[in-house]
Each structure stands twice: as C-alpha cells, then as structure tokens.
Amino acid sequence: MRYGISTVVLGRTDLEAALHRIAVAGFEQIEILTEPPHLWPGDHEPQQVLALLDQLGLHARVGHGIYSHGNPNCGSLDEVKRRQAVTQIATCFEPLVAVGAEFVVLHPTGYSLDYTDENRPRVIDQVRRSMAELSAIAADVGIRPAWENLPHHHTSRPLHDMTELCSLINEMPANVGLCLDTTHALIAGHDPLEQLNIAAHRLLCLHLHDSDGAGDRHWVPGQGIIEWNPFIARLDEMGFTGTRTIEVVSTDETEDLVLTEAAAMARKWEGEGSV
C-alpha cells in the first residue's frame, strides 16, 4: 500500500508486535512514533528495528517526533524550557534516520490551554527560534522537519491556521516543510481542503483522519464529516509525493477492527487515485 498508517493505532502495544500486526493488515508504509513503547530514543537498537521493518516489508518513511513525554514545548516562554525542548526533540532524529525515515513530524506548540492574546506574539517568536535550531540539527542529520497544524481548542493557541504557520515556514530553509492534519484543521474551524491548498507549496506529510467536528476523534476516514473525495482528488491533481498517513486510534477492543477499516480505506483510495 502507498497510504501508510501511524503506529499510534497500536500505541499500547510493544513495537515488534505492533509492526507485525500492521504488516498483516496489509500496510507497507508506516509513520513510527518516537514515544514509548515504540521508537523512544535509547529503548531500541535502530538497526534491529530496520531489519524487522525489512523482514515485514514495511517502510518507515516518516516518524513522529517526541511530543508528550515531558511535554516538550517549542513555544515555551521560559527560555530554559524552550532550549530543553529543542534538545529533547532532537534526540529522536538520528534513530529515525537509522530506520529509514526521510521526514519527522513536529509540534510547534505545547499544551493547548497555555495561551492568551497577550502572550501569543511572544510564543510565535519562541517557536521561530526553535524551528530555526531544529532545522539546522535536522539538516546535519539528514531528515526533513514537517511542522504540524494543531487545534486551538477555543484558546489563543497560535499556528493552527496554515496561513499563519506558512508565514514561519517560508522563513526556513528548503529542507523544512509542513504536515497537514485534517481533523486538527476541521476542529479549529478551517476547511481541510482550503488548508491543503494554502500549505501545498511546502507540504511534506499528511495526517488523515476523521471527526464529527466536536473533537480530535482520530476516526477512520469516512466515519465523520470531512469531505474526502475532493481532498484526495486535489492531492492527486497536485502530484503530491510526500507521506499520506492514516492517523487513527483504537481501544483494546477495537484494534483489529480499526486496522481492518483503515486498510480498506487505503485500498479504496489507491484504487481510485493516481498514487
């Protein structure tokens, strides 16, 4: 399959078992988390993970950078914490390159409720510093950062709109780009297709999942209210060659069903499109 799936779908399962189950479901592309119990830096030997991927016919073309463990915040107004966040996030770059990743998805801001109209401009300045520092580290290592749009949750959280996020990305070197998350766009009040068109010139990665519009559901595409036909058609029209990751979550009871449904949607899109 050319559409991939994030290992977050089996986020409670150890990495080896998760990879086996994803391969059995029929996927060939994955986005690998750098969160425990998956590719957390120091917990796995990357060359062994690469050998397992090869054995299973999987390709981890993209990884998701550290985002929750200790809540690294690239926009922290505490300069010490911002620098610590950059250092911590950068620890996942070399392990990702070692397992074959070309891209790493990164979060520009931290906890969604930490923002006010007053601190918003200062947060953006801090994110700009972090982006510049991480882009330089990534270039040295050989991986391309893809900065993700995050929902505002009715707060003053910045950079949820691709117009605003592009204004920073356009200042960055050519190795830096964007990851468009469809549900994050939807629940922040944006049209995912419109956001796709805004981000197109720097788009590297996609997080494809659905929602009822009320929350970050991470449902299989087609189970919510996003209009997928024009979105996928536009991707093919663009000739988009980056990663197309289905980023869905499951419970212990629904893991197999969600994997099966996600694989069915991937096959459907591949049969209809030019990928």
DSSP element (H, E) containing 137 = helix 120-141
pLDDT of amino acid 2: 86
Alpha-carbon torsion (262, 268, 270, 272), positive or negative: negative
Contact 172, 146 (CB under 8 A): no
Give the tens place of pLDDT for each residue, 3-42. Answer: 999 999 999 999 999 999 999 999 999 999 999 999 999 9
CA geometry: angle 94, 164, 103, nearest 5 deg: 20
pLDDT band at residue 198, thresholds of 50, 70 and 90?
very high
Which pLDDT does position 245 carry in this prediction? 98
- Position 275 scores a pLDDT of 40
Question: Helices (H) and strands (E) in the chain — how many of each?
Answer: 10, 8
In degrees and rounded to multiples of 5, residue 207 shows phi and psi of -115, 110
* Strand ranges in the chain using DSSP code E only, listed in sequence order: 4-6, 29-33, 59-64, 103-106, 144-148, 177-181, 203-208, 243-246
Question: What 3-state DSSP class applies to 103?
Answer: strand
Q: How far apart are CA 199 and CA 169, in angstroms?
A: 10
- Non-local (6+) Cβ contacts of 49 within 8 A are 15, 39, 98, 99
